[in-house]
Amino acid sequence: MSRHLAVIPAAGTGSRVGGSLPKQYLAVGGHPLLYFAIARLCAHAAIDRVCVVLAPCDKVFETFDWKAFATKLAPIFVGGDSRASTVHNALESMTGEAAAEDWILVHDAARPCLSARMLDRLIQEVGDDASGGLLAMPVADTLKRADGDLRSIRTESRAGLWQAQTPQMFRYEVLLRALRSCDLSQVTDEAAAIEALGLKPRLVQSDAMNLKVTHAQDLALAEMILNRAGEI
């Protein structure tokens, strides 16, 4: 039986949000932002382990109380200089522990509003798909191409375009092979590495509630969503 193992890359600084703390530790509803990703994944019955991948020099994580998640949570201090290298390092550290057919679910530390319903849908719709899959949304807004002076030079077609979210879910052996064979500095998500192998990950439709906190104003929006969902 293949297992479901979650990986949360949390080694970045989140400089676009600002503040003295890395983004994953900014406060939302009395908890660090990272708490909500950990809580959702640890609560899911199908997920056997949740690995939080931290920078080797991280001293902040241990200042919070994570005992409620002790049966599943495993912090590992092997973060790299990019998201892709952090995930790659985590998978390399799992060699001998993770089986080739185990599922790896990579989820953003700064995406706190993942619902149990969306996580269920991802796992169910990916099923045994050899290419894996990811949560995503069809692009709804009109897209403009800008020149160097920030002037619109044309409207781009949004037909067939989707906005990638997380979790992204792939077999351990396939994802590790994909990351080993690509330029980690150029990969912005795991699906891109999988696509470079010639595979076509399944797009599982999500919604706008599963937002990623990128800018300071996103924190207030995330807190509102979590409050309405009864998570805080």
Residue 19: predicted pLDDT: 65
Q: How many CB atoms lie within 10 A of CB 151?
A: 9
Distance of CA 40 to the CA centre of its chain: 12
pLDDT, average across residues 141-163: 97
Which residues does 212 contact at the CB level (< 8 Å), separation at least 6? 108, 110, 111, 165, 218
CATH 1.10.3720.10 matches 4-136+165-228? no
Q: Which residues pair with 203 in a beta bridge?
A: 134
Please provide residue 2's backbone torsions phi and psi, each rounded to the nearest 5 degrees: -75, 150
pLDDT band at 14 (very low <50, low <70, confident <90, very high): low
Please say if the pLDDT value at position 47 is more than 80.
yes
Distance CA 138, CA 118 (A): 15
pLDDT band at 175 (very low <50, low <70, confident <90, very high): very high
Please say if the pLDDT value at position 16 is more than 80.
no
pLDDT, average across residues 35-60: 97
Please say if the pLDDT value at position 197 is more than 90.
yes
- Kind and range of the H or E run holding 228: helix 216-228
Distance CA 157, CA 173 (A): 35
pLDDT band at 17 (very low <50, low <70, confident <90, very high): low
Record the pTM.
Answer: 0.95
Please provide residue 168's backbone torsions phi and psi, each rounded to the nearest 5 degrees: -115, 135
Distance CA 48, CA 172 (A): 14
DSSP notation for 26-78: SEETTEEHHHHHHHHHHH-TTEEEEEEE--TT--SGGGS--GGGTTTEEEE--
**CA angle (195 as vertex; 46, 130 as ends), nearest 5:** 45
